[in-house]
Amino acid sequence: MQGKVVVITGASRGIGAAAARAFCGLGAKVALLARSEPEIAALAAELGEAAVALTCDVAEFDQVQAALAAVVARWGRLDVLINNAGVIDPIAHLATADPAEFARAVQINLNGVFYGMRAALPQMRAQGYGTIINISSGAATNPLEGWGGYCSTKAAALMLTRVGHLEEAAHGIRVLGLSPGTVATQMQVKIKASGVNPVSQLDPSVHIAPEWPAKTLVWMCTAAADAWLGRDVSLREDVVQRAVGLLA
């Protein structure tokens, strides 16, 4: 990853922040995208000259396009895009879910992924290479009570991963997803408090640290993960954990 240019959305905390530290630790240049400017500014200051904070709402295509253009203007290329930004709300049955919250979930979890891909692909095509990783979930393929918005948007984003690979592999662009399992982040705190579906009943001790998916994301940028192109890498699988070096 030495000298590679990596863009991470939702970089202010959780998996995004851990990934930024992992990539920077290996010599990459990292652009931190999020709505929360103070948090990404503090993280960029921690990481030093190899990081830049760009305030961006992934639900707005113009902002995503402008942020990626700023990255290319600064560093001359775009090697990796990690579409990590996402929301769990609304946690509610379909019969009572707030339509505005549901629409916001679509804007962030689905449109935000498309906007990132749409903004990155012309640059990556011009380069003849690039990697796009969409953060997925087991909810993309498994319905869960109260998660109609999250499950449906993650399922749709998984199809973007599949179509992206179908369309872009011939252009030298790698598109794949990461289904990290349950991770010890602020989202899990909200899920626990909801008391809805079996995920909220999990003991916090079973959640993995954000550093696990962060290390996996680095591994996914290498040819070692090519067998998973066009689909999700599941961090719940022992074979993946061993390949990444998380298990002996």
Among candidate residues 102, 114, 147, 150, the one labeled active-site is 150
How many other C-beta atoms can be found within 10 angstroms of the C-beta atom of residue 205? 6
Contact yes or no for 53/43 (Cβ under 8 A): yes
The SS3 call for residue 154 is helix
150 belongs to the catalytic site: yes
> DSSP character for 35?
S
Query: What's the burial of 201, exposed, middle or buried (CB within 10 Å: 0-12/13-18/19+)?
Result: exposed
Q: Which residues pair with 30 in a beta bridge?
A: 6, 51
**How far apart are the C-alpha atoms of 126 and 123, rounded to whole Å?**
5
Both structure tokens of 144:
């869960």
Identify whether 213 is preceded by a cis peptide bond (ω within 30 of 0). no
Judged by phi (left if over 0) then psi (alpha if -120 to 50, else beta), residue 84 lies in alpha
Pairing label, strands 173-179, 130-135: parallel
Query: What strands lie across the sheet with 51-55, from one edge to the other?
Result: 51-55, 29-34, 5-9, 80-83, 130-135, 173-179, 232-234
Active site residues: 150
